[in-house]
Amino acid sequence: MIWPWVAGVVAGLVLAGALLDRAALWMESKGWIYWRRSERRGSASLWLVEEIYQPSMTHVREEEVRERTEADQDESGER
């Protein structure tokens, strides 16, 4: 019968997906990638479109990045 084989493949895919998710969360905790737990403010392609129609948003984004950087430095005591 083919059903036990299909069930095994599906179970293997679910397990592989769960392991990949855990690995991605670990990499995110190291700061290597953005996965599920990071604050994301839209994709880069949307920012490009926004810059075309609202050029003043570039300054807002730069200010947000500066504030986050300062907050990170304050937490780590780098200043």
What one-letter code names the amino acid at 4?
A: P
Closest to 24 in 3D by CA, of 36, 14, 11: 36
In this predicted structure, what is the pLDDT of residue 41? 58
Average pLDDT for 41-56: 69
In this predicted structure, what is the pLDDT of residue 53? 77
DSSP state of 35: -
Average pLDDT for 49-73: 77
Write the DSSP assignment of 39-62 as a string of letters: ---S-HHHHHHHHHH-TTHHHHHH
Q: Name the pTM for this structure.
A: 0.46
Would you kindly state where each structural domain of the chain is located, as residue ranges? Answer: 1-38, 39-79
Residues 14 and 22 sit within 8 Å (Cβ to Cβ)? no
